[in-house]
Amino acid sequence: MADLHDYAMFHGKPPTRRRTVDFHVPKHLVVLGKAKAIEYMCSKRNGGGDGRNAIYRHEFENPMYLCMDERKGKQLYIIGGRLKVSAAGVEN
The model's pTM is 0.67
DSSP-derived secondary structure letter, 72: T
What kind and span of H or E run contains 49?
Answer: none
Q: How do residues 6-53 score in pLDDT, each as one tens digit? A: 777 777 777 788 888 888 889 889 999 999 998 888 877 665 667 677
* Contact of 44 with 11, CB cutoff 8 Å: yes
Q: How do residues 64-85 score in pLDDT, each as one tens digit? A: 999 998 887 678 999 988 877 7
Phi and psi dihedrals of 21, rounded to 5? Answer: -125, 125
Q: Quick one: which of 81, 82, 84, 89 has its CA closest to 65?
A: 81
Q: DSSP alpha helices (H): ranges in 1-92? A: 4-11
